[in-house]
Amino acid sequence: MRLRTLSRWRARPRPATGLRLGAAAGVAGPVAFTAAWAAASLLQAGHSVTAVQISGLAAPDARDPWIMITGFVVLGGCSVAFGSALQAELGGSGRAGPGPRLIQAAGAATVAAGLLRRDQMLLASPAGESWHNHAHDLVSALIYLALVAAPLLLARRFRGDPRWNALRVPLAAGSLATVAVLAVFFAQAFPASGGVLQRIGVTVPLAAVCAVAVRLLATGQAGAAGLAHGPGAPAPGAT
């Protein structure tokens, strides 16, 4: 009995715990970030909800900037964890493609964007801006590129994989929508709607990340259930 219990303990899929945690981080990060900018936007007295861009909500002259700073850091850290779990599930660095690594890089850049704060809540002339304001703008540009590229790279990687193939069209469509929204945002075609466009342009790719994370979580749970019943044994509901 003791040997049997020991063999079952050794057969437990210990890496599956890390996989589930990474998948959960892929949902928690975007949710925390969205909640942060929504709450911080409501706190800025004298400004409409979308008048202040997301980065401005972390500026020193914003009200309770720690909320948005926390949102940046949590999203960044969760993205790194999620990218790592996704890469492992897709077969490691040699088979996963560049998508998961780009998600991890974007996560690190997001943490940097939260710590390298803008000088002022509202956009001002570039003249006289601090080095960390310029660094924030540079890092933000890299994040925007990653928001567009990562879903496209994942859609390409998922081609022909029955576990992930259903996400290919939504990921590609989301990236195209993000490109369109951000193009209008950066062109300042509708200055009064800049805050709305930015929030849409960020939320769409984060929703795509959540969709992949939910699928990863389901995959990890199914794999863990199958191994828990022993090699070759069907998972519950499979018969």
Please, what is the Cα angle at 109 between 153 and 26, to 5 degrees? 60
Given a cut of 70, whether residue 215 has pLDDT beyond it is yes
Query: Is pLDDT at 171 greater than 90 in this prediction?
Result: yes
pLDDT at site 13: 47
Distance CA 76, CA 202 (A): 14
Tell me which residue has tokens 């090699």: 231
- Does 237 score more than 50 pLDDT? no
Q: What is the pLDDT averaged over residues 144-150?
A: 97
Residue listed under structure tokens 């540009």: 141
Looking at residue 234, the DSSP 8-state letter turns out to be P
> 22-52 burial, b for 16+ CB within 10 Å, e for fewer?
bbbbbbbbbebbbebbeebbeebeebeebbb
Residue 184 lies in a domain: yes
Confidence check: pLDDT of 222 > 70:
no
Determine, yes or no, domain membership for 212.
yes
pLDDT at 2: 53
Q: Measured over all CA atoms, what is the biggest interatomic distance in the chain, rounded to whole angstroms? A: 75
Q: Is the pLDDT of residue 40 over 50?
A: yes
In the three-class reduction of DSSP (H, G, I as helix; E, B as strand; rest coil), residue 4 is classed as helix
Instruction: For the chain, give the mean pLDDT.
Output: 88
Q: Is the pLDDT of residue 88 over 50?
A: yes
pLDDT over 60 (residue 225) = no
Q: If pLDDT is split at 50, 70 and 90, which confidence band does 191 have?
A: confident
Instruction: For residues 135-161, give the mean pLDDT.
Output: 96
pLDDT at 27 over 80: yes
231: in domain? no
Number of structural domains (the chain) is 1
pLDDT tens column, 45-75? 988 989 999 999 999 999 999 999 999 999 9
* pLDDT, position 233: 45
Torsion angles phi and psi, residue 154, rounded to 5? -70, -40
Q: Which pLDDT belongs to residue 82? A: 98
Q: Is residue 83 part of a domain?
A: yes
- Residue 18 pLDDT: 87
Percentage with pLDDT > 70 across the chain: 84
In terms of phi and psi (left: phi > 0; alpha: psi -120 to 50; beta: otherwise), the region of 102 is alpha
CA distance 146 to 140: 10
* 3 part of a folded domain: no
Query: Domain for residue 21, yes or no?
Result: yes
Domain assignment of residue 1, yes or no: no
CA distance 232 to 239: 13
DSSP 42: H
Most confident by average pLDDT, 57-61, 90-94, 120-124, 222-226:
57-61
Report which residue type is found at 149.
A
- Confidence category of residue 153, pLDDT binned at 50, 70, 90: very high
Compute the distance between CA of residue 21 and CA of residue 78 in angstroms, rounded to an integer.
Answer: 10
Q: Which domain holds residue 79?
A: 17-121+131-225
Residue 143 resides in a domain: yes
Look at residue 235 in the predicted model and tell me its pLDDT: 44
- pLDDT > 90: what percent of the chain? 73
**This prediction's pTM:** 0.85
